[in-house]
A = this chain, B = another copy of it.
Amino acid sequence: MIPRLFVVDDLEPGRRVALDGDRTHYIKNVMRRSLGDEVGLFNGRDGEWLGRVHSLGRNTAEIALDMQRRPQAASPDLWLAFAPVKRARTDFIAEKATELGVSLLWPVMTRRAEPARVNVERLTNIAIEAAEQTERLDVPVVRNALQLEKMLQEWPRERTLFVCAEAGAALPIADAVLAHRGRPAGFLIGPEGGFAASELDALRKLPFVVAVGLGPRLLRAETAAVVALACWQALAGDGAGADSRPPFRNEFVS
């Protein structure tokens, strides 16, 4: 397995890319790579590049780029807005949403959201690590937290907002996703304890909102996020095509 790292540098033939301390530690001590070993790099713009460890110091390393391995490809246009929950579970939402291909993560303060400050940098770092692991070519943007009312004012009118509503009328998720296929989409996941009734009422009145149900069991907030994103990708996203498979895997099968 070739270790993959996200960097901010431009990627082009012959270039040498310096790694920061964390990534140097990862290459050297976690993955136990030495001079000349292969490393993959991506920056969200130039595709995935193969390079080799050119120098390996205590706190820094240089990767000399060889060639592009994959061209840049856009992730599906899928957003996730979510009410912060307890920290470990919020971290989990950021990690899993990145694995599931969202392009934007948006913390939203609802009535019952955990009031703790949302650390955008922390969530971004979690998203970067998950993107490295999951073989994406980009990293989702993490927005600053907004109050629900503000977030709804800023929500693009042409983007369907699927609200995962545990109470009241709602379409089954599969029906809702199929009915709105082919359009930019996003999900809104409430906090533990759910939306307040007045919040759900206000949401339902908006023309771009579609209330969806995730089945008869009450799901934790972070489970609801994964379920919703998984169903969207499988039915309307990049999991729906017959050729939709992780890269470079077939070489491992006889």
Contact = CB atoms under 8 A, between A and B. Distances in A.
Interface of A: 96, 99-101, 133-136, 166-168, 170-175, 194, 197-198, 200-201, 213-220, 223, 226-227, 230-231, 233-235, 237-242, 244-247, 249-250, 252-254
Contact of A242 (B99, B172, B240): B172
A200 B253 contact: yes
B172 A240 contact: yes
A239 B226 contact: no
Given A168-B253, A223-B226, A136 B217 contact: yes
A201 B173 CA distance: 34
A230 B244 CA distance: 18
B96 A239 contact: no
Contacts of A101: 215, 217
A173 B253 CA distance: 20
A215 B231 contact: no
Contact of A235 (B100, B174, B237, B238): B174
* Assembly stoichiometry (copies): 2
Given A101-B215, A197-B254, A239 B136 contact: no
B246 A216 contact: yes
B174 A220 contact: no
A124 B175 CA distance: 34
B134 A174 contact: no
17 contacts: A99-B223, A134-B217, A135-B217, A166-B246, A167-B249, A167-B250, A174-B234, A174-B235, A174-B239, A197-B253, A198-B254, A201-B254, A215-B245, A216-B247, A223-B226, A226-B227, A231-B231
Contacts of A100: 217, 223, 227
A175 B47 CA distance: 30
Contacts of A253: 167-168, 197, 200-201
